[in-house]
Amino acid sequence: MASTRIILTPESAHFPASGFAALGLSAYQSRPMLSFDAGATEEEAWWTFIAPQGLAGALSAVISYFMLSATSGTCAWNVYVEAVSPADAQDLDANATPGWDSTNDSSADTVPGTAGYLAQASVTLTNADSIAAGDLVRVRLVRDTSVDTATGDACVLAVEIREA
């Protein structure tokens, strides 16, 4: 049975200098959300946490989202992981490319037939940068607009990191 290990919320996200998802509130119920645009420019959000004790085994990311206007098509996500242990030779303040592991791609998730309805896409984290308990971890979520066919914004409400 899967166990929830970490919940990542819109309010705890941080962002790159450009190409980022917009942090906001849903129009009517004021739910915190990250709004990822459709189109040529991929947008992203990042989260940082310490990997919890007892973490072992395969992980997945479950993305809870709704579409602002789309009622057909598919939404695709890429999830990247960076795990840094105290003994790693990685300068955390260097002006260099972050240490993201290879991408973890979602299959294209069919969006609900009604805008505003909850959808959940699961991405297996096969490339999890050898994450271990106590590591400083960053997770990067990107809407993969090169694959996705849904129009309009995809609004992320939470990302759950699960252990199988």
Q: Report how many domains make up the chain.
A: 1
Q: Is residue 103 part of a domain?
A: yes
Q: Is residue 69 part of a domain?
A: yes
Q: Is residue 63 part of a domain?
A: yes
Q: Which amino acid is at 103?
A: T
Tell me the per-residue pLDDT of 107-137, one tens digit each, with 9 for 90 and over: 789 999 999 999 999 999 999 999 999 999 9
Tell me the per-residue pLDDT of 73-105, one tens digit each, with 9 for 90 and over: 999 999 999 999 988 888 788 766 677 888 888
Would you list the DSSP string of 4-24?
EEEEE-GGG-B--SSSBPEEE
CATH of the domain at 106: 2.60.120.260
Return the pLDDT at 49. Answer: 96
Range of the domain at 157: 3-87+98-163
Q: Is residue 93 part of a domain?
A: no
- pTM, entire model: 0.93
